[in-house]
């Protein structure tokens, strides 16, 4: 229930950012802060960019990537154009780590990790954590799809699917 609440709150924050035309570009555990009230805050918008004008749609220069390699979307690792689905991928990596106890990809170098984001599928969360609801595991893997079009389009879609889980104790 706690994990689902964290995912719900982070998804709501990303939905709000996307509504305002903001891509965070550095979603990771260190940037999700839990207040003593239980309210989640998304921190460190230092890499965030507005996407509302054509000039701002290209969020990185060619050959330049920004963000943390452990949590970087495939398109971010390639220095491609980003939209809110890139943040959804990074949230998926964060959720995977929260539920599995480790990130889906690791490597000896940042480049090695980035290559895994591009080419390797994450181990099945259902196999690692058979105690979790299978639908929750499938949601995390949907966030981790390599192709942005195959991910959730926004945080509200994640919240919609979380409601279907009916996890006891989750608000």
Catalytic residues: 26
Q: Which residues contact 154 (CB under 8 A, 6 or more apart)?
A: 14, 15, 18, 84, 85, 88
What is the number of residues in the chain? 171
Name the DSSP letter for residue 130. T
Element (H, E) at 40: strand 40-42
The token pair that represents 23 in the structure block: 């891509």
* CB burial string 5-40: b at 16+ within 10 A, e below: bbbbbbbbbbbebbeeebbbbbbbbebbeeeeeeeb
Q: Where are the alpha helices (DSSP H) in the chain?
A: 2-19, 74-77, 84-100, 110-119, 125-128, 134-143, 155-165
């Amino acid at each position: 229930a706690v994990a689902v609440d964290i995912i719900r709150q982070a998804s709501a924050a990303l939905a709000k950012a996307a509504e305002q035309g903001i891509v965070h570009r550095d979603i990771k555990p260190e940037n999700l802060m839990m207040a003593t009230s239980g309210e989640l805050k998304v921190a460190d918008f230092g890499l965030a960019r507005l996407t509302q004008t054509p000039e701002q749609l290209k969020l990185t220069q060619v050959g330049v990537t920004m963000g943390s390699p452990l949590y970087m979307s495939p398109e971010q690792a390639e220095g491609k154009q980003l939209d809110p689905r890139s943040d959804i991928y990074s949230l998926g990596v964060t959720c995977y780590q929260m539920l599995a106890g480790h990130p889906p990809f690791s490597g000896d170098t940042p480049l090695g990790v980035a290559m895994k984001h591009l080419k390797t599928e994450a181990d099945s969360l259902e196999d690692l954590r058979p105690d979790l609801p299978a639908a929750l595991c499938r949601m995390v893997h949907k966030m981790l799809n390599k192709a942005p079009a195959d991910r959730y389009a926004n945080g509200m879609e994640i919240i919609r699917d979380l409601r279907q889980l009916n996890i006891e104790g989750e608000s």
